[in-house]
Amino acid sequence: MESYYLDWANLLLRWVHVITAIAWIGSSFYFVFLDSSLTPPVDEDLKKQGVSGELWAVHGGGFYHPVKFNVSPPQLPKNLHWFYWESYSTWLSGFSLFTVSYLWSASTYLIDKSRMDWAPATAIVVALSFLVVFWILYDLICRFFGQRKNGDAIVGALVFTLVCVAAWLACHWFAGRAAFLLVGAMLATTMSASVFFWIIPGQKKVVAAIKAGEPVDAIHGQRGKQRSVHNTYFTLPVLFAMLSGHYSFTYNHPQNWLVLILMMFAGAAIRQFFVLRHGYKLGRNRHPFAYALVGVAVIVAVIVWLKPVPTSTAMLDNTAASTAPIDYQTLQVVLAQRCYLCHGEKVQMKNVRLDSPQLVKTNAQNIYLQAVVNKVMPMNNATGLTETERQLIKQWFEAGAKVD
């Protein structure tokens, strides 16, 4: 029964997480577009008010005219909208989902004993430390190098190096699927922490100064803009890490850490293309097509690299010679040794039970997909299902999945 309620918690939290993430990413993408598309105001009255850029747009049957003030407006409006709950809600729902999906059952989903055979409590502490330590190091990098000459390039290189180290460690310490998700959660935590510790506090100081009639320090806007720009480059890598859990050929690869790094790099390069493209349309920079080309080229290279090795004719002949139909009694021995622990009388993970012929017949398609095609079950191969046993399941299924 506990597994059933955990599945519902997982589903509902995932639903909320996706909804809030859409709101946060959507607003982030929009404001990057807005900043990159602003043009100097034409109206003299706007110039006198301190407007540094404006944009005319049409959407949903109406015309919009957003403007951006240089540092601060002459006076604050009665209603001022703040963008932060999108970020906080995304992180809170995401961390809750991570807790329910991985930390709650760390021994099953987080730990791969072939990599690190540690206690669940230890694995949980180390996993959480990724979120905290990466943020601290990222923040220090921004503080020390962000305001220097060529600071953006220095910060970018150091953060990329930091991500590579984190990806290597996560993939060597945790189960592949959990490692990919953990690195994504690490970046997402840093994104939300930037909003919580820098962007919103800086904006509050600006608002307080305006209300008090004091001069506004432009540094708050500069720091907030810097962290916001970093966040937009993190977005596509985070989305890949979150989605990769559905595709075992990525996180089950022997060099899964390199797969993760390359795909994240490709995502950041493609995001750079879209960021610069807004400015190109206004003649501010050269066409950023090279960034998109690099990103796509890296993805294509990964696709070619991960392509399954074709089976030789000799191997096919040997396999054909040993593909005699497998009866249910033979299959049951494998299921009892490898599957009943999580899908038997006492425990039914994901509400799946496999300890009777009828239930095996009902779940035959899922057994084949998860154990043979995707090779994600048993989770982290905790019960030691062998390739020979996977072949037995394959033969049984392809022969008609008979249980009588």
Task: For residue 171, tell me if it sits in a domain.
Answer: yes
Looking at the structure, tell me whether residues 198 and 338 fall in a common domain.
no
Count: domains in the chain: 2
Q: What is the pLDDT of residue 316?
A: 44
The three-point CA angle 12-348-391 to 5° equals: 110
Task: For residue 42, tell me if it sits in a domain.
Answer: no
Residue 284 has pLDDT above 70, yes or no: no
Looking at the structure, tell me whether residues 106 and 220 fall in a common domain.
yes
b/e for 319-343, b at 16 or more Cβ within 10 A?
eeeeeeebeeeebbebbeebbbebb
- Beta carbons of 334 and 397 less than 8 angstroms apart: no
Q: Is the dihedral of CA 392, 396, 402, 404 positive or negative?
A: negative
CA 48 → CA 114, 209, 213, 403, distances in Å? 67, 20, 18, 82
Which residue in this structure is represented by tokens 């050269």?
Answer: 286
Looking at the structure, tell me whether residues 98 and 243 fall in a common domain.
yes
- Beta carbons of 300 and 267 less than 8 angstroms apart: no
Question: How many angstroms separate the CA atoms of 330 and 396, rounded?
Answer: 9
Looking at the structure, tell me whether residues 301 and 345 fall in a common domain.
no
Phi, psi of 63 (to 5 degrees): -105, 140
Q: What is the pLDDT of residue 321?
A: 47
Question: How many angstroms separate the CA atoms of 377 and 333, rounded?
Answer: 16
Looking at the structure, tell me whether residues 178 and 112 fall in a common domain.
yes
Write out pLDDT tens, residues 17-66: 999 999 999 998 998 889 888 999 989 999 888 899 999 999 988 999 99
Question: How many angstroms separate the CA atoms of 240 and 184, rounded?
Answer: 8
Task: For residue 242, tell me if it sits in a domain.
Answer: yes
Write out pLDDT tens, residues 154-199: 999 999 999 999 999 999 999 888 999 999 999 999 999 999 999 9
Whole-number CA gyration radius for the chain: 26
Which residue in this structure is represented by tokens 């493209």?
Answer: 277
Looking at the structure, tell me whether residues 280 and 371 fall in a common domain.
no
Residue 312 has pLDDT above 80, yes or no: no
Looking at the structure, tell me whether residues 317 and 297 fall in a common domain.
no
Question: How many angstroms separate the CA atoms of 401 and 393, rounded?
Answer: 9
Mean pLDDT of the chain: 87
Task: For residue 72, tell me if it sits in a domain.
Answer: no
Domain span at residue 117 reads 10-37+87-305
Task: For residue 123, tell me if it sits in a domain.
Answer: yes
Looking at the structure, tell me whether residues 235 and 372 fall in a common domain.
no
Of 305, 323, 341, the residue at which a domain comes to its end is 305
Least confident residue range of 74-88, 171-185, 273-287, 290-304: 273-287
Cis before residue 310, ω within 30 degrees of 0?
no
pLDDT band at 320 (very low <50, low <70, confident <90, very high): very low
* pLDDT > 70: percent of the chain: 93
Average pLDDT over residues 239-245: 91
Local structure of residue 71 (DSSP, 8 states): S
Tokens representing 298 are 């890296």
Of 305, 328, 353, the residue at which a domain comes to its end is 305
Question: How many angstroms separate the CA atoms of 390 and 290, rounded?
Answer: 44
Residues in Cβ contact with 282 at an 8 Å cutoff, skipping those fewer than 6 apart: 37, 39
- Residue 180 neighbours by CB distance under 10 Å: 29
Q: What is the pLDDT of residue 36?
A: 86
- The one-letter amino acid at 159: V
Of 242, 273, 305, the residue at which a domain comes to its end is 305
CA 59 → CA 25, 267, 279, 282, 343, distances in Å? 19, 28, 21, 20, 52
pLDDT band at 117 (very low <50, low <70, confident <90, very high): confident
CA 92 → CA 21, 167, 179, 222, distances in Å? 11, 23, 20, 27
Higher pLDDT, residue 111 or 382? 111
Residue 323 has pLDDT above 60, yes or no: no
Local structure of residue 270 (DSSP, 8 states): H
Q: Is the dihedral of CA 118, 247, 240, 103 positive or negative?
A: negative
Looking at the structure, tell me whether residues 272 and 318 fall in a common domain.
no
- The one-letter amino acid at 148: R
Looking at the structure, tell me whether residues 223 and 358 fall in a common domain.
no
Task: For residue 47, tell me if it sits in a domain.
Answer: no
Looking at the structure, tell me whether residues 186 and 253 fall in a common domain.
yes
Q: What is the pLDDT of residue 107?
A: 84
Tokens representing 147 are 């305001």
- Beta carbons of 128 and 110 less than 8 angstroms apart: no
Looking at the structure, tell me whether residues 348 and 329 fall in a common domain.
yes
Tokens representing 100 are 């329910």
- Beta carbons of 200 and 223 less than 8 angstroms apart: no
Write out pLDDT tens, residues 331-384: 888 888 888 888 887 777 767 888 888 888 888 888 887 888 777 778 777 777
Higher pLDDT, residue 381 or 270? 270
